[in-house]
Amino acid sequence: MKDKARYLDPEVLARLSNLELKARLVVEGFLTGLHHSPYKGFSQEFTDYRLYISGDEIKRIDWKVYARRDRFYIKEYQEETNLRGYILLDKSGSMGYGKKITKLDYGKFLSACLAYLLFKQHDGIGIITFDTKINEFIPPSAKKINFTRILDAIDRVTPGNETSLANVLFDLGQKIKRRGLVILISDLFDKPAEVIRSLKSFRARKHEIIVFQTIDPDEFTFPFTETALFQDMETDEYLVIEPKSIKNSYQKKFRAFLDYYQKGMLESHIDYALINTTQNYDRALITYLQKRAKLL
């Protein structure tokens, strides 16, 4: 386990069973990599000491300073803030698709990594899981017990019902009152115009938003060649399809679907990243850190 950066690979990570260990290995490997990259400035930078006060975490005491001065001092870092982060994880049926790793498992790992990174930076973090409705809502907090609850909630997530993304997002836009950073992880399989309209309800309330659209490689390439019975993962309906006859039309429409989101997010001032589930997690983490840097 010396080369922690290899755990940025989704397939390697999927072979581990403990979610907190997965998140820790990814984030620590990622942060180690930052020291050798143009993004090294995003890592926490020590700025000063302050006296320990009741309620501070004991692990943050600098014992070397204590040995010299016989008083407790805490290290402070440049990027310590009261940022409140909300992770919105789509668990609808379509997120259950994937051969080597499902979109939902990828989203779960990414949610855990982002939660760990926020927690490590002393930010408040919450989680919301949903399909046609909100399934679980844990409000943001920077406490260790809250981070543990979030990991437990992520671990329990399984593919659910049909997509009702636009409606759920609009409802959440009304419920999340305090301004914060909203991170949506979803395949966005709903009507794009309605989804973007719902996301604007967050922007209207001064939230910052990052959208990670997670897509399986098959959905890009449509590699199927033989006539087969295809199943809708949300409605359980079946349809016999001759792939060769629809491949070109499918790819054109899917590309238009993605382009609509990319253009719509840009015009709505929403940070957007299209993520292939074979991609390492570093791209998503860098996108998050770039957004966080703008908010400081």
Quick one: which of 275, 258, 259 has its CA closest to 217?
Answer: 275
Quick one: which of 236, 218, 194 has its CA closest to 276?
Answer: 218
DSSP class of residue 240? E
Has this prediction a pTM greater than 0.85? no
pLDDT of residue 222: 86
Chain centre distance of CA 207? 16
Which domains are present in the chain? 45-77 (no CATH), 84-295 (3.40.50.410)
- For residues 187 and 163, give the distance between their C-alpha atoms in angstroms, rounded to a whole number: 10
**CB-based contacts of 73, cutoff 8 Å, min separation 6:** 49, 50, 51, 52, 61, 62, 65, 66
- For 245, the enclosing helix (H) or strand (E) is helix 243-267
Here the tokens at position 18 are: 């403990």
pLDDT, tens digit only, all 296 positions of the chain: 445 567 678 888 888 889 998 899 888 888 777 655 544 444 444 445 566 666 677 777 777 777 777 777 776 554 445 689 999 999 999 999 998 899 999 999 999 999 999 998 888 999 999 999 999 999 999 999 999 999 999 999 999 878 789 999 988 988 888 889 999 999 999 999 999 999 998 988 889 999 999 999 999 998 888 776 676 666 777 777 888 888 899 899 999 999 999 999 999 999 999 999 999 998 898 888 888 777 76
Q: Are strands 208-215 and 181-186 parallel, antiparallel or unpaired?
A: parallel
pLDDT of residue 105: 96
pLDDT of residue 46: 44
pLDDT of residue 80: 47
Question: According to DSSP H, which parts of 70-216 are helical?
Answer: 103-120, 144-156, 165-175, 192-204
pLDDT of residue 198: 94
Contact between 66 and 72 (Cβ < 8 Å): yes
Report CA-CA distances (Å) from 163 to 98, 142, 174, 234: 17, 31, 19, 7
- For residues 22 and 155, give the distance between their C-alpha atoms in angstroms, rounded to a whole number: 12
- For residues 276 and 227, give the distance between their C-alpha atoms in angstroms, rounded to a whole number: 26
3-state secondary structure (DSSP) of residue 197: helix
pLDDT digits (tens, 9 = 90+) for 175-232: 888 889 999 999 999 999 999 999 998 988 889 999 999 999 999 998 888 776 676 6
For the chain, the distance separating the N- and C-terminal CA atoms, rounded to the nearest angstrom, is 34
